[in-house]
Amino acid sequence: MRGKIAEVFASIQGEGPYLGQRQIFVRFFNCNLNCIFCDTKLRYFKEYTARQLWAEIEKFPGQYHSISFTGGEPLLQSDFLKEIMALAKGNGWKNYLETNGTLPRALSDVIALTDIVAMDIKLPSSSGMQGVWVMHERFLQIAVQKDVFVKMVICNSTTEQDLRRAIEIIKRVKDSLCVVLQSNSLEESVGLREKVSFFEYVCRNENLNVSVIPQMHKVWGVK
Supply the Cα-derived Rg of the chain in whole angstroms: 17
Residue pLDDT, tens place only, 144-185: 999 999 999 999 999 999 999 999 999 999 999 999 999 998
How do 22-28 and 66-70 pair as beta strands?
parallel
Sort residue 181 into left (φ over 0), alpha (ψ -120 to 50) or beta: beta
- pLDDT recorded at residue 75: 98
- pLDDT recorded at residue 217: 74
97 against 187, higher pLDDT: 97
Residue 118, pLDDT above cutoff 90: yes
Residue 40, pLDDT above cutoff 90: no
Angle at 147 between CA 169 and CA 125, to 5 degrees: 35
Question: Which structural domains are found in the chain, ordered by start?
Answer: 3-220 (3.20.20.70)
Q: What is the pLDDT confidence band of residue 202, given thresholds at 50, 70 and 90? A: very high
CA gap 107, 156 in Å, rounded:
31
Strand partners, 220: none
Residue pLDDT, tens place only, 47-58: 999 999 999 999
Give the pLDDT mean for 75-87: 98
Strand partners, 182: 153
Residue 220, pLDDT above cutoff 80: no
Angle at 117 between CA 211 and CA 151, to 5 degrees: 30
Q: What is the pLDDT confidence band of residue 120, given thresholds at 50, 70 and 90? A: very high
Give the pLDDT mean for 107-122: 98
Cα maximum dimension of the chain = 49
Q: What is the pLDDT confidence band of residue 37, given thresholds at 50, 70 and 90? A: confident
Whether the CB-CB separation of 85 and 42 falls below 8 Å is answered with no
Give the pLDDT mean for 203-219: 91
pTM of the model: 0.95
Give the least confident one: 64-68, 94-98, 219-223.
Answer: 219-223
